[in-house]
Amino acid sequence: MTTHRFLDRVLLALPACVLAGAAHAQAAPQAPSSTAPPVAPASHPAAPAMGAGKLLLTGGVSSIDGAAGGGLTPWAVIGSYATQGEFGATAFVTRASTQDYALTTYGAAVGLFDRVELSIARQEFNANVVVPDTTLKLDIVGVKLRVAGDAVLDPDLLMPQVAVGAQFKRLNPGAAVGGVLDSVDAKRSGVDLYVSATKLFLAQGVLVNGTLRATKANQNGLLGFGSTERRSYRIEPELSLAWLLRRNLAVGAEVRFKPNNLAFAGAAFEEQAWKDVFVAWAPTKNVSVTAAYVDLGNIVGHTHQTGGYVSLQFAY
């Protein structure tokens, strides 16, 4: 079985597993027998409901790479509503459209004990404006580990929550685009490494995140990894700022800087930072909707690529 077929099956199965797991976690317990009512020992108080320990939106939304954070960049938070001793999951679908391109992303993530996050995502980039009938497909498997701090439970401390992560990416560019990438020695797979620090100032309702990413990716990996001129990792910053207007509504902005590995091939291949201004709304605890105005800059000769972004996430 090829890697892509395997990932296709996992991506299709994960949302169903998420929903099934949530239904099991929320199932009502059996009523105790009226003849022998149980008495809970004083030393073992009843545990809180699964997923009840996090405030709305403080687990972030699903980024385009599948990790919890903003739309463009990961944060140090662990996705889902799981706290210590619990597990949770998310599933999402995202659509971004500019004047000439469109990107669809879908995937899922599992949060374990508010400590570890495992994610998987597929990006499908419509490149018909450059090569007719061409869709670039990028598969991403991610892992994130919280190593210090707590962004929500330590509001009086300046220490942020800190996490480290890795994203394993593999591109299927198709024959035509693949030939172009081969000509500049851009690889079909790569690994991004990052460290994120997230701090929530609860009294002010302000969340700040900074991420440093070590990457070889061209346009996030949609144009391969590295080039003839640049084979080494580049360290690029990513910044997010969010303001909680009320418990279920937040607005904010992000910027994500990227390496410029293909600039030697001509102005058409120059990369620019990605930026967005977003609003995130959680009509219920398990559903959030994020809408944004995005500026993706120059993409393969098409400049000023701006447009809209919308993402739907289910979290448990």
| SS3 label, residue 177 | helix
Tens digit of each residue's pLDDT (9 = 90 or more) over 159-184: 999 999 999 999 999 988 999 999 99
User: Distances in Å between the alpha carbon of 173 and those of 54, 75, 142, 189, 220?
Assistant: 40, 28, 20, 11, 13
Q: How far apart (Å, rounded) are the C-alpha atoms in residues 213 and 221? A: 13
Look at phi and psi of residue 160 and say left if phi exceeds 0, alpha if psi is from -120 to 50, else beta.
beta
Kindly tell me if the per-residue pLDDT of 196 is higher than 90: yes
Q: How far apart (Å, rounded) are the C-alpha atoms in residues 250 and 71? A: 13
108: CB partners within 8 A, 6+ apart? 11, 14, 15, 17, 18, 66, 89, 90, 91, 92, 119, 120
Whole-prediction pTM value? 0.81
Which domains occur in the chain, in start order? 3-21+51-315 (2.40.160.40)
Percent of the chain with pLDDT over 90: 68
Q: How far apart (Å, rounded) are the C-alpha atoms in residues 295 and 145? A: 30
192-202: string of b/e by CB count within 10 Å (b at 16+)?
Answer: bebbbbbbbeb
Q: What is the pLDDT of residue 84?
A: 83
Give residue for tokens 């993402």: 311
Tens digit of each residue's pLDDT (9 = 90 or more) over 77-127: 998 888 888 899 999 999 999 999 999 999 999 999 999 999 999 999 999
Of 47-56, 136-145, 297-306, give the range with the top mean pLDDT: 136-145
Tens digit of each residue's pLDDT (9 = 90 or more) over 267-290: 889 999 999 999 999 999 899 999
Q: What is the pLDDT of residue 242?
A: 95
Counting Cα atoms < 13 Å in the Cβ hemisphere of 5 gives 2
The tokens of 150 are what?
């707590």
